[in-house]
């Protein structure tokens, strides 16, 4: 019988009020991994109530003390790293070296966010009046709601929740339905670290039954969402109309530019890793290559040969390089776009779902490469979120930059060149939140801001020195010790 997991509300592990559950499956084997609460609006309301009650005490807990709990959670994550990685591979599918990296991001973020407990810098500035002090400080906002995706089920909650906690907010957390166990572990770790009851609450369930009620709940002041642009924009509209703070991290259609002077061996390795790592299920995945006409054919041959050599299978097998799609629906999306791509470019390698033998019970697809794709083709413009790469021929750097920037998304971009002038031109002109030189489009580090432009986000950034921005307000404070009324903005000359 599958293990039954519970919500965590107000310091108690409780079932959904309805008593309903949903199964969690291994996308490589079809195995049922557990049953999770199929929660509803009443569970959301209970979690918000618990978070609201806990807020005053947590807000008044000194920031260094709040940070110590986050740091302690990082230490627990470090001790459990391998168990967490294996659990994540079982429910999400990506290979163990990647899930270890996902967990490591949680560790890194815990340490980085904990440091803010003894910084959380404000600003002091001279007053225009004599004997008057002027300064600004960060303050928490209240109850924050987090809606997170399945592709990085430990790292992304860490980027969001850890800074919010250090800043003094309380939290309601709705993880993706495809990866609930990773989120359950996240909550268990903070319980073990000594987080007070009600400060972090987790409610499992669907977007319709849990996510939507969170977005419109009057007790939630901040919504932080990572997922598709379509859903994110809908959330932004609903939450923004209610005056909530909204932080959106959404889609990507990331390009690697390869110039005619590039190291093609290095570029090939980076392209294949960026395109097919995590089965292409990253918002930063390279789903298009903008190849200079002089190297297009050779690059396609190199990339296709390496992609075809990749072993596809269960991510728990250390010899496997690419795991399954996370679900049947995601695999069907990949197959649909492969069909579209066959009419838009030349299929060079892949193109088939894997359904026999060891692949029979999972959602597997071959790494797939299309060449001679037009820059405005659907497979070169629309987000696929699967192991499909389109190679577009470009004339020069200016053409490549124009193609890159024409995308409705603006998360990550990359250029391979040995020319420092081209590199700096690309760094200046590529209109994405992240730019790499001589590297693929994946591999962001926690101590730099993460996020994108246009359809990728709404201006907020996660991690790095901007981590506190979505979860704090600025308060300006003036202390007048002159002993008399001094009137600012009045001409006293």
Catalytic, out of 68, 98, 105, 249: 249
Question: Which two tokens mark 424?
Answer: 């700096």
Cα 453 from chain centroid?
14
3-state secondary structure the chain: CCCECCEEECCEEECCCCCCEEEEECCCCCCEEEEEECCCHHHHHHHHHHHHHHHHHHHHCCHHHHHHHHHHHHHHHHHCHHHHHHHHHHHHCCCHHHHHHHHHHHHHHHHHHHHHCCCCCCEEEECCCCCEEEEEEEEECCEEEEECCCCCCCHHHHHHHHHHHHHCCEEEEECCCCCHHHHHHHHHHHHHHCCCCCCEEECCCCHHHHHHHHHHCCCCCEEEEECCHHHHHHHHHHHHHCCCEEEEECCCCEEEEECCCCCHHHHHHHHHHHHHHHHHCCCCCEEEEEEECCCHHHHHHHHHHHHHHCCECCCCCCCCCECCCCCHHHHHHHHHHHHHHHCCCEEEECCCEECCHHHCCCCEECCEEEECCCCCCHHHHCCCCCCEEEEEEECCHHHHHHHHHCCCEECEEEEECCCHHHHHHHHHHCCCCEEEECCCCCCCCCCCCECCEECCECCCCECHHHCCHHHEEEEEEEEECCCCCCCCCCCCC
In the residue annotation, 283 being an active-site residue is answered as yes
Active-site residue, from 98, 144, 181, 283? 283
Would you call 171 a catalytic residue per the annotation?
no
Catalytic residue numbers read: 249, 283
């Amino acid at each position: 019988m599958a293990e039954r997991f519970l919500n965590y509300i107000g310091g108690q592990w409780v079932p959904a009020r309805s008593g309903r559950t949903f199964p969690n499956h291994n996308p490589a084997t079809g195995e049922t991994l557990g049953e999770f609460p199929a929660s509803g609006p009443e569970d959301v309301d209970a979690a918000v109530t618990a978070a609201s009650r806990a807020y005053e005490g947590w807000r008044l807990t000194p920031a260094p003390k709040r940070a110590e709990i986050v740091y302690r959670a990082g230490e627990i994550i470090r001790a459990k790293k391998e168990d967490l990685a294996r659990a994540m591979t079982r429910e999400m599918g990506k290979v163990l070296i990647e899930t270890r990296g996902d967990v490591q991001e949680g560790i890194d973020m815990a340490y980085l966010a904990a440091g803010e407990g003894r910084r959380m810098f404000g600003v002091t500035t001279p007053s225009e009046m004599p004997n008057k002090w002027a300064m600004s400080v960060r303050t928490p906002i209240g109850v924050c709601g987090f809606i997170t995706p399945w592709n990085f089920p430990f790292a992304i909650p860490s980027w969001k929740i850890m800074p919010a906690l250090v800043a003094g907010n309380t939290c309601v957390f709705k993880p993706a339905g495809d990866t609930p166990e990773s989120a359950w572990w996240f909550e268990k770790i903070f319980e073990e670290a000594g987080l007070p009851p009600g400060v972090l609450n987790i409610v499992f369930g669907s977007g319709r039954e849990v996510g939507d009620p969170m977005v419109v709940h009057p007790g939630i002041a901040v919504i932080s969402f990572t997922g598709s642009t379509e859903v994110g924009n809908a959330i932004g509209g609903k939450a923004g109309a209610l005056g909530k703070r909204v932080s959106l991290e959404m889609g990507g259609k990331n390009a690697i530019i390869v110039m005619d002077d590039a190291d093609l061996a290095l570029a090939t390795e980076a392209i294949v890793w960026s395109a097919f790592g995590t089965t292409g299920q990253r918002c930063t995945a390279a789903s298009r290559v903008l190849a200079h006409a002089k190297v297009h054919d050779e690059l396609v041959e190199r990339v296709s040969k390496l992609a075809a050599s990749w072993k596809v299978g269960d991510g728990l097998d250390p010899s496997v390089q690419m795991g399954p799609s996370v679900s049947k629906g995601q695999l069907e999306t990949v197959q649909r776009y492969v069909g579209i791509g066959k009419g838009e470019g030349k299929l060079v390698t892949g193109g088939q779902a894997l359904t026999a033998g060891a692949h029979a019970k999972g959602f597997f697809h071959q790494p797939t490469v299309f060449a001679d794709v037009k820059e405005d083709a659907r497979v070169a413009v629309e987000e696929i979120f699967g192991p499909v790469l389109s190679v577009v021929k470009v004339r020069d750097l200016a053409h490549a930059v124009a193609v890159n920037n024409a995308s409705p998304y603006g998360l990550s971009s990359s250029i391979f060149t040995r020319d420092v002038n081209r590199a700096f031109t690309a760094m200046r002109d590529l209109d994405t939140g992240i730019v790499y030189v001589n590297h693929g489009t994946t591999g962001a580090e926690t101590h730099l801001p993460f996020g994108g432009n246009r359809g990728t986000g709404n201006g907020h950034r996660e991690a790095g020195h901007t981590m506190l921005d979505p979860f704090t307000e600025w308060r300006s404070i003036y202390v007048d010790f002159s002993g008399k009324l001094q009137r600012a903005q009045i001409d006293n000359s």
